[in-house]
Amino acid sequence: MTYTVGMYLGDRLKQIGLDHHFAVAGDYNLVLLDQLLKIDGMEQVYCCNELNCGYSAEGYARAKGAGAAIVTFSVGAISAFNAVGGAYAENLPLILISGAPNSNDHGSGHILHHTIGTPDYAYQIEMARRITCAAVSIISADEAPAKIDHAIRTALRERKPAYIEIACNVAGAACARPGPVSAVLSQVPGDAATLEAAVEAIAAFLAKRDKVAILVGSKLRAADGGEGAVALADALGCAVATMAAAKSFFPENYPNYIGTYWGEASSPGAREIFDWADGILCLGCVFNDYSTVGWTAWPRGANVVQADIGTVTLDGQVFDGLHLKDLLTALAARLAGQPKKGGTMTEYRRIVGAPAPVDSAAPTAKLTRAEMARQIGALLTPETTLLAETGDSWFNAMRMKLPQGARVEFEMQWGHIGWSVPATFGYAVAEPKRRIITMVGDGSFQLTAQEVAQMVRRGLPVIVFLVNNHGYTIEVEIHDGPYNNIKNWDYAGLIEVFNAGEGKGRGFRATTGAEMAEAVRAALDNHGGPTLIECIIDRDDCTSELISWGRRVATANARPPAK
């Protein structure tokens, strides 16, 4: 059997740990798909459309560290670009591979199908360059190994998406075989002197402060800094909070964990502590308009250390060229044995003597948001992953207490509604042994619902809580209008459509707590396919956090143009 360009790509994807890749067929990628099917231990998983294909690979990357999506030229790739932009925003190595025009057509003046109708086909890779860390076009077999390795290596190093386009007549062409996988897994070491200087500068910063707190941000995962953050928290003995998008990136049963810091939408007591602290260590934090509640909750200035993936900034100094993972480990070692900084925990215990508000309501009454959230929260085990969609689902998830090992996935930087359904599909393909739960609003679900059919096809026992509050409630709280109303669907009834008489999916409508509890019991017994539980709640039944957060974001959006 000839060893081909497509097989080289497939072997590299397998070598970096992918057992699956996601695809939508198109005539520019069929020969490539054939090559990938030849790779032992690599399964080709099909999606309903290229947006969902991209998000399935993105969800897979959240579980496995990287993901791959194969699409056809232009009509496929440009849809998938939305998921690539999301992967860039969320620091995920999604590798988008697009079939491309025959290499003989370049410069021929030929007008080709699926293109924008000009003989210059470079527009696609030019678009890709803006939303990836590496973008390559392969029009000959000789150049394929180096270009494929460059794209994969860069994506893994930078934790950002990469783009590979392969001419349709090259994917099956004879190609050299790859060398050791270390060629694409190697990291550029951090600078030792910079690391040492940064550690000393932070130690000096802390020595002058008593009211110290740690804020964990969403880039901590991309930096592989989870263990280092716990070691640093152990060394300091201070309060630790997570930003909303970093929920589950720090263990919530940690004794000094005080919940989410999110301005007015914070966990009880957390905002006060960060307002009160005189030394804040920000680890991999992303401060955008949503995460700072319209720029009203943005730790910065002389009392803040910003420790990012490769750079530390404090006191007017910047230390670039280090790895956050190394910094946390070295700093924890440097502070070992020093006096603890427990002032913030002492103060926190004073503030939150009263227990946090518990979501509960009589299960027989009309279903409320609080009761829905309570029943979902009760399902979280150490083996659970909860994917929470853009919407009030963010705030419902924020209130949930996680057992150690439970994971939460958001897409808070990109915030593309509908992301959670295909991302759930990809994540469930990657992690068949975990309990996968999705909380998705009715508005979001309508963008990507088709991928529930793929969950039926593969018999994935995912539980989808469809929050039917009759429209775009998060938008209602920011700025209401007729555009926030949507056509209602029979969401539970969709499952029978997707089953088509053979699938094992189940759908339930819950209008009371008791109906929801019964549906949950059935879902936990359904191991042969997804269970969608449509939770019907009032349009205005949303979290108090959403209301205040929505006001702040609306104010930020309404700032008049600068003079």
Report the candidate in 359, 142, 342 with the shortest Cα–Cα distance to residue 256.
342
Report the candidate in 102, 82, 96 with the shortest Cα–Cα distance to residue 136.
96
Instruction: Return all residues near 355 (Cβ < 8 A) that are at least 6 apart.
Output: none
Q: Is 257 or 549 the residue whose CB approaches ligand DPX more closely?
A: 549
Indicate which single residue of 93, 343, 415, 461 sits in contact with ligand DPX (rule: CB under 6 A): 415
- Binding status of residue 448 toward ligand DPX by CB under 6 A: no
Count the Cβ atoms, other than its own, within 10 Å of residue 365.
Answer: 11
Q: And the tokens for 57?
A: 């690979």
Indicate which single residue of 11, 50, 58, 392 sits in contact with ligand DPX (rule: CB under 6 A): 392
Q: Is 161 or 441 the residue whose CB approaches ligand DPX more closely?
A: 441
* Beta bridge partner(s), residue 45: 22
Choose the binding region for ligand DPX from 257-265, 332-340, 377-385, 437-445 (rule: CB under 6 A).
Answer: 437-445
Number of Cα atoms under 13 Å in the Cβ half of residue 535: 29
Q: Is 101 or 441 the residue whose CB approaches ligand DPX more closely?
A: 441
Minimum separation from the CB atom of position 450 to ligand DPX (A): 15
Residue 398: C-alpha distances to residues 70, 382, 533 (Å):
34, 17, 20
Choose the binding region for ligand DPX from 9-17, 193-201, 368-376, 391-399 (rule: CB under 6 A).
Answer: 391-399
Contact 449, 47 (CB under 8 A): no
Query: Pick from ligand DPX, Mg ion, none: which does 279 bind, CB < 5 to 8 A by kind?
Result: none
Q: And the tokens for 268?
A: 């009880």
The site that binds ligand DPX (CB under 6 A) totals a number of residues, namely 18
Indicate which single residue of 390, 420, 438, 531 sits in contact with ligand DPX (rule: CB under 6 A): 390
Is there a binding annotation on residue 557? no
Instruction: Return all residues near 399 (Cβ < 8 A) that are at least 6 apart.
Output: 267, 359, 373, 377, 543
Q: Is 31 or 466 the residue whose CB approaches Mg ion more closely?
A: 466
Report the candidate in 98, 94, 42, 89 with the shortest Cα–Cα distance to residue 63.
94
Instruction: Return all residues near 15 (Cβ < 8 A) that are at least 6 apart.
Output: 178, 181, 184
CA distance 136 to 148: 8
- Binding status of residue 158 toward Mg ion by CB under 5 A: no
Q: Is 467 or 495 the residue whose CB approaches ligand DPX more closely?
A: 467
Site for Mg ion in 416-475 (CB under 5 A): 441-443, 469, 473
Contact 32, 168 (CB under 8 A): yes
- Binding status of residue 550 toward Mg ion by CB under 5 A: no
CA distance 312 to 200: 12
Contact 253, 186 (CB under 8 A): no
Minimum separation from the CB atom of position 130 to ligand DPX (A): 18
Indicate which single residue of 19, 475, 480, 496 sits in contact with ligand DPX (rule: CB under 6 A): 475
Residue closest to Mg ion when measured from CB atoms? 441
Q: And the tokens for 501?
A: 């008489």
- Binding status of residue 399 toward ligand DPX by CB under 6 A: no
- Binding status of residue 469 toward ligand DPX by CB under 6 A: yes
Query: Pick from Mg ion, ligand DPX, none: which does 390 bind, CB < 5 to 8 A by kind?
Result: ligand DPX
Is there a binding annotation on residue 442? yes
Q: Is 426 or 441 the residue whose CB approaches Mg ion more closely?
A: 441
Q: Is 241 or 467 the residue whose CB approaches ligand DPX more closely?
A: 467
Interface ranges with ligand DPX (CB under 6 A)? 389-393, 415-417, 441-444, 467, 469, 472-475
Residue set of the binding site: 442, 469, 471
